[in-house]
Amino acid sequence: MNEVFYRNTEFITAKVRQHRAMSKLSIYLEKKQVENITGHYVGSSKMKSTVAFFIAVLVLTFTPMLASGQKRSPEAKTRLDKVCSRTAEYGCYTNHKYGYAIAWPKQLLTPQGESDAGDGQAFTSKDGRISLAAWAIYNDVLEQTLTEAYQQAMDEPNQSVTYKHLGKDFFVVSGHKNGKIFYRKTVLSNDVQASFEFEYDSTMQNVMGPIIKDIAASFTIDALFQWR
């Protein structure tokens, strides 16, 4: 990862969060058909003026804090760089919509292109025996706690869970599914729930152990990856 990239994304992240905050406010006002302080219905022209006023207040109030308060986690950068710097072994996929990154074993898998929704990407081997999928969603859309997401992951059909762990801001579920071994990790941070799932033939278990460890270590949510 390039240090210039991290510095540049600090400013960009502030713009992203500012945009999201303003969008949510606009949607709220449209849905509620805002009333003015006298209690009368606010028509479309007045509503637009009201929205514009509140947006201006948001910009003046929060932009300085966003620009100065968003700092990158040194620990996250170290974990990610430790794997992604091994360029002969790993590629590094960064999702700028949701602000997460993950390493993928480039000698085993081929990227299939980012999804139309922009939430992630799939990577598959030529023979179909190995696959990696990464995806994310804003947690305010799901309105789901980490414990609820953990329970949902364990209750997925057609799987047998052999290992599970619920941490402070992540969980891991692993086992057998569709004749293969799967390993799933989900992280909840910065109001984003991001996940990856790695699947492979059971005959490859000894070989895949170190690779899964590297992928899991690289998996990072950081708002400074966001720029859209």
Question: What is the model's pLDDT at position 181?
Answer: 98
pLDDT range class, residue 73, cuts 50, 70, 90: low
Strand ranges in 52-120 using DSSP code E only, listed in sequence order: 90-95, 100-105, 110-114
The SS3 assignment for 144 reads: coil
Question: What is the model's pLDDT at position 226?
Answer: 64
Is the confidence at residue 187, as pLDDT, over 70?
Answer: yes
Report yes or no: 121 and 109 within 8 Å, Cβ to Cβ. Answer: no
More confident site: 8 or 176: 176
- What are the residue ranges spanned by the domains of the chain? 3-69, 74-225
Question: What is the model's pLDDT at position 220?
Answer: 92
Report yes or no: 49 and 34 within 8 Å, Cβ to Cβ. Answer: no
Task: Tell me the mean pLDDT in the region 31-52.
Answer: 47
Non-local CB neighbours of 180 within 8 Å, separated by 6+ positions: 199, 200, 201, 202
Is the confidence at residue 40, as pLDDT, over 70?
Answer: no
Per the prediction, the chain carries an average pLDDT of 78
User: What's the whole-model pTM score?
Assistant: 0.68
Fold assignment, 74-225? Protein Transport Mog1p; Chain A (3.40.1000)
Task: Tell me the mean pLDDT in the region 209-224.
Answer: 92
